[in-house]
Amino acid sequence: MAKPLTKTQLVAALADEMGTDKKSASAALDAIVAVITREVSGGGAVTLPGVGKIYCRERPERMVRNPATGEQIHKDADKVVKMTIAKALKDSVNG
């Protein structure tokens, strides 16, 4: 398995793809992350065409088990961020 891209490598690749400098590419990436964070934390969803959909899902309160002791613990309701991968991306990977 290949190593994941670091932010620096992603910014460099994005700058090359856009034909611009790294500073502009970094600003664009930061803006995209800010928009996604704002929308998902507000309860909305963001669809990245060809990549997938990022959304927030609520989990109800439930009983969980401590694996070390076997003790049952009550866990309050919480929210979790999920991502559904687009079919186009799945098909290109499995191509």
Task: Give the 3-state secondary structure of 21-90.
Answer: CHHHHHHHHHHHHHHHHHHHHCCCEEEECCCEEEEEEEECCEEEECCCCCCEEEECCEEEEEEEECHHHH
CB 40 within 8 A of CB 81: yes
In the chain, list all ranges with CATH 4.10.520.10. 44-95
pLDDT confidence of residue 65: 95
pLDDT confidence of residue 1: 72
Domain at 44-95: CATH architecture: Irregular (4.10)
Question: pTM here?
Answer: 0.79
pLDDT confidence of residue 88: 93
Per-residue pLDDT of the chain (95 residues; tens, 9 = 90+): 789 999 999 999 999 999 999 999 999 999 999 999 999 999 999 999 999 999 999 999 999 999 999 999 999 999 999 999 999 999 999 98
